[in-house]
Amino acid sequence: MIDIKLIRENSELVKENIRKKFQDEKLGLVDEVYEYDKTYREYKLEGDNLRAKRNELSNQIGKLMREGKKDEAEKIKKEVSSINEQIDQLEISEENLEHEINSRMMVIPNIIDPSVPIGKDDSENVENEKFGEPIVPDYEIPYHAEIMESFNGWDKESAGRTSGNGFYYLIGDMARLHSAMLSYARDFMIDKGFTYCIPPFMIRSDVVTGVMSFAEMDAMMYKIEGEDLYLIGTSEHSMIGRYKDQIIKEDNLPITMTSYSPCFRKEVGAHGIEERGIYRVHQFEKQEMIVLCKPCDSMEWYEKMWKYTVELFRNLDIPVRTLECCSGDLADLKVKSCDVEAWSPRQKKYFEVGSCSNLGDAQARRLGIRTKGENGTYYLHTLNNTVLASSRAIIALLENNYQSDGSVKIPKVLQPYMGGKTVLKPNNK
């Protein structure tokens, strides 16, 4: 959510930002907020003036009563009663206007950074940089589900019976490899100075609407029936929510945390659930990083964070690239975002394995997360980035470390988590 001062003082900037995001249907919201806010402030001023007048008259009542002028005092009491009725009506009107303003402000997109490329959708995202040589071996690499099957490492059929499409069992070495990657990702971030945390896996609706847009919420979140609770789609949601309505000491900034959680997603939309493999599923596990910092430091942290993910994947012997998200592909709360994509030697192209985002003060403004410094109280900036998402990371690892004999090399950094094993050999070899 943007600062309403932007609409009061520079509504054309807000409109131009909406055009850059190709959301022209929202342009009218800016004028509506401007007019509602103008009326709201007029009512507020009128109410303040009436309260001042009421206080003045109330003082007169006491004086008149002490002087024995009861008739005059009763007359003023009636006037005070009339003023109270007017104030009550104004407060109702103010509350209604505040609701109208907030409902519109919640869907007006955040102001994007000037460096963001302009484009309508993800097809116009821009490649930034490649890290590692994208190699295609001279032997065929099977589909990742087939590789896992060769190790008796997964069972989607049984998961379909217990849970439905979009779920799976990981078994044996595949389950161990999955846990090894997450453990390594955890330790990698701790070594970078981040504090490890395991958050609640369910959050209330006021936290959900504080950390994401309504469109994202509808497409992603599972609601617990009969309760004001949602399963998290990423631990960033509960991690940022931890600081709701808090004033954080400026000396404690930046806050840098890395969190583990399962992630639950409906995956509603054009992509849907993958039928065969684990690229797009309802449940996976993830190591995340989040930062709360001063506004002047957020872009510096943004650059650090995506570089950490690149470093981690290179340590797993996986070539990656970064892709700058264009204006039309940015979620409404984001100021700037890039995807980290891993090389798929089977498909001969890159695919998304993580996303790094700077949300400016949008989440902090919605959730009331502030700090107090020499120049007063102000909203913090929040950032989040995927360290490692288990399902997609295991696809990238299997494909990039697959050998011609069907075995899979274990990257050196994972070997301590795999009992010293250096290679996995399929059961049928």
User: What pLDDT is attached to residue 73?
Assistant: 85
Say yes or no: 314 and 286 in one domain. yes
Q: What percent of the chain has pLDDT over 70?
A: 98
- pLDDT category of residue 134 using cuts at 50, 70 and 90: very high
User: What pLDDT is attached to residue 274?
Assistant: 62
CATH number, position 68? 1.10.287.40
Read off the pLDDT of each residue in 349-367 and give the average, rounded to a whole number.
96
Residue 271 has pLDDT above 70, yes or no: no
Place of tokens 């001062």: 5
Read off φ and ψ for residue 356, nearest 5 degrees.
-115, 130
User: What pLDDT is attached to residue 257?
Assistant: 98
Say yes or no: 290 and 364 in one domain. yes
Residue 415 has pLDDT above 70, yes or no: yes
Single residue among 60, 79, 105 that ends a domain in this structure: 105
Say yes or no: 55 and 180 in one domain. no
* Inside any domain, residue 213: yes
Task: Spell out the residues 6+ positions from residue 45 whose beta carbon is closer than 8 angstroms to its own.
Answer: none
- pLDDT category of residue 61 using cuts at 50, 70 and 90: confident
Say yes or no: 90 and 189 in one domain. no
Per the structure, the count of domains in the chain is 2
User: What pLDDT is attached to residue 273?
Assistant: 61
Place of tokens 């696809």: 395
Handedness of CA 270, 272, 277, 280 (dihedral sign): positive
Read off φ and ψ for residue 403, nearest 5 degrees.
-110, 165
Task: Provide the token pair at 230.
Answer: 């949602």
Provide the residue range defining the domain that includes 10.
4-105
- pLDDT category of residue 370 using cuts at 50, 70 and 90: very high
Rounded Cα–Cα distance for residues 337 and 331 (Å) = 9
Read off the pLDDT of each residue in 54-73 and give the average, rounded to a whole number.
84
Q: Which segments of 131-255 does DSSP mark as H helices, in order? A: 144-150, 156-162, 172-191, 205-211, 214-220, 235-241
pLDDT single digits (tens) 181-219: 999 999 999 999 999 999 999 999 999 999 987 777 777
Within 10 Å of residue 129's Cβ, how many Cβ atoms? 11
pLDDT single digits (tens) 300-338: 999 999 999 999 999 999 999 999 999 999 999 999 999
Say yes or no: 253 and 137 in one domain. yes
Say yes or no: 293 and 356 in one domain. yes
Read off φ and ψ for residue 189, nearest 5 degrees.
-75, -35
Q: What percent of the chain has pLDDT over 90?
A: 85
CATH number, position 351? 3.30.930.10
pLDDT single digits (tens) 385-414: 999 999 999 999 999 999 999 999 999 999
User: What pLDDT is attached to residue 393?
Assistant: 97
Residue 269 has pLDDT above 70, yes or no: no
CA proximity to 106, closest of 384, 379, 362: 362
Q: What is the mean pLDDT of the chain?
A: 94
* Inside any domain, residue 116: no
Coil, strand or helix at 211:
helix
Residue 231 has pLDDT above 80, yes or no: yes
Single residue among 105, 136, 166 that ends a domain in this structure: 105
Say yes or no: 93 and 205 in one domain. no
User: What pLDDT is attached to residue 386?
Assistant: 96
